[in-house]
Amino acid sequence: MKILKILAALLLVFYLSFMCTGNTEKEHAHPGHEHSEQAGHVHEAGENIDPFQETGSLIPIEGEWEKLIGLETAEAKMMAIELVISVPGQIVPNQNQIAVVSPFIESSINCVFVNVGDRIKKGELLACLSSPEIGMQRAEYDKAKAEREIENQNYERKYKLHQENIIPDRSFQEAELNKKVAEVNYNYALKKLLALGIRADEIDNPPSEHSEAVGSTIHLYAPISGIVTFRDASIGQKVNNSMKMFEIINLEKVWLEADIFEKDLTKIKIGQKVKVRVSAYLEEVFIGKIFYIGSTLTQETKTIKILVEINNKLEKLKPGMFANTHIVIGEKRETLVIPKEAVLEDENLKVVFVKEKEGYHRHVINSGIESDEFVEVLSGLSVGDIIVTRGNYQLKSKLKMSGVDPHAGHVH
């Protein structure tokens, strides 16, 4: 009987121990299941997970707020995109369309007819100068001109007499020599006046306006059409040939300077198309062509200079403007693209905001080539996705201010 009582007690202890262990396991299993569901790390079999959509980064749609920030969207689409090299550049004057106007001789200013900023045409009068030396040179010219006329008449008379054998050969030859000498002296005096800046049509009709001494006036004319960008000229001022009185720039064609890295040198050539944008006209693209590629590399930066000529009929481009320069080196056929302004940098990632039914989701993308307007999307988006192109910075700020970890639930 004692043995049976002992066995019954052991069985009771074993049973109670087994029941306690089972309850403990159930209690531990149940809380763990709840934690997994709340944390979002357990997914049902076959669930479609987009590794580029960050599930903790939803921003609800708020109509009034969207209007306030001017939110705009565009559609991710398939299209051909140009292959470009993008470099910074700067607009500079066309060196062939800059004119510096200086007097050819020491003189004094009588009148000035233009100011800085004036738009003038080639041949327009800029200023009147007066110089005693011009008066002396004109006197020499008038003398040489008169002597030439006299010697020409003398030659004509002796030529006829010589033809009739009335005068000897020697007398005719002297007349012929005197005629040639007079012609040389006349041409010399004429060229001296031209070299001093006197126009050919004013040599025999010297301007006498704005000067008491007839024939001592010099008129300065614009050598090109353009805008007066510099003036150092006042009435009564003494000037000489080392002084710059006026500068004129024609902006109908401007140049762009840019530096190309050595690795891209084989991709560029003379005549290549270039697209240029400046911050003053963000919606406008200016087209130019490369006309110069430097011969040597800059040692410090390992770059080479190029010059691009751009048509600028409306004169929107101004020297000194910085420009985004896109050199077109080829075209890639159909690929998925989105506007460049849709892409943001965030912690070394490229992200966009996609509009969906429940709100805006932050997506990480892998990008490919870029043109001046578009970015190729290698992964992270699909055709037809609606991408935020304006207001995306505000969405990014709102996401950070909401306290939501944008990387929560992100699958790597």
Beta bridge partners of 353: 362
State residue 42's pLDDT score: 33
Longest dimension (CA), the chain: 188
Residue type, 291: F
Sheet holding 217-221, edge to edge: 217-221, 125-130, 107-112, 238-239
Tens of pLDDT along the chain (412 residues) come to: 445 455 455 554 455 454 444 444 444 443 333 333 333 333 333 333 344 444 446 787 777 888 888 889 999 999 988 888 889 999 999 999 999 999 989 999 999 999 999 999 999 999 999 888 888 888 999 999 999 999 999 999 999 988 988 889 899 899 999 999 999 999 999 999 998 888 888 888 776 655 555 578 889 999 999 999 999 999 999 999 899 999 999 999 999 999 999 999 999 999 999 999 999 998 899 999 999 999 999 888 889 999 999 999 999 999 999 999 999 988 777 899 999 899 998 888 999 999 988 888 999 999 888 877 889 999 999 999 999 999 888 888 888 776 555 554 343 3
DSSP structure class, residue 42: -
Q: What is the dihedral of CA 97, 100, 105, 109, to 10 degrees?
A: 120
* CB-based contact 342:352 (threshold 8 Å): yes
What tokens does 301 get?
Answer: 């930066």
Domain ranges across the chain: 53-79+335-401, 85-95+251-331, 99-248
**Residue pair 92/221 in contact by the 8 Å Cβ criterion:** no
| Predicted local confidence at residue 291, as pLDDT | 97
What integer pLDDT is reported at residue 57 of this predicted model? 67
- CA 224 distance to own-chain centroid: 24
Q: Which of 411, 383, 282 is nearest to 76 (CA)?
A: 383
In residues, how long is the chain?
Answer: 412
**What is the C-alpha to C-alpha distance for residues 22 and 3, in angstroms, rounded to an integer?**
29
Could you give the angle at which helices 132-163 and 169-195 cross, rounded to 10 degrees?
A: 160
Task: Specify the amino acid at residue 110.
Answer: N
* pLDDT score recorded for residue 249: 97
**Token reading at 397:** 């700020």
Read off the pTM. 0.63
SS3 289: strand
Q: 85-95+251-331 — its CATH code?
A: 2.40.30.170
Q: How far is 215 from 196, CA to CA, in rounded Å?
A: 13
C-alpha 61/C-alpha 68 separation (Å) is 13
Stated as kind and residue range, the H or E segment containing 398 is helix 392-401
C-alpha 204/C-alpha 248 separation (Å) is 29
Name, in order, each residue with C-beta under 8 angstroms of 268's C-beta and a sequence gap of 6 or more.
Answer: 85, 260, 290, 293, 306, 327, 329
The whole-number pLDDT of residue 62 equals 74
- Give dist(CA 152, CA 106) in Å, integer: 35
User: What totals of helices (H) and strands (E) does the chain contain, helices first?
Assistant: 6, 21
CB atoms within 10 A of CB 263: 9
Instruction: Rounding to the nearest 10 degrees, give the CA dihedral for residues 179, 180, 186, 190.
Output: 150
Q: Are 87 and 260 in contact (CB under 8 A)?
A: yes
Distance CA 35, CA 26 (A): 15
Q: 53-79+335-401 sits in which CATH class?
A: mainly beta
Looking at the domain 99-248, which fold is it? OB fold (Dihydrolipoamide Acetyltransferase, E2P) (2.40.50)
Kindly calculate the radius of gyration of the chain based on its CA atoms and give it in whole angstroms. 44
Q: Are 211 and 109 in contact (CB under 8 A)?
A: no
Of the candidates 284, 271, 357, 346, the residue with the CA atom closest to the CA atom of residue 316 = 284
Asked if 331 contacts 81 with a C-beta cutoff of 8 angstroms, the reply is yes
pLDDT score for 203: 85
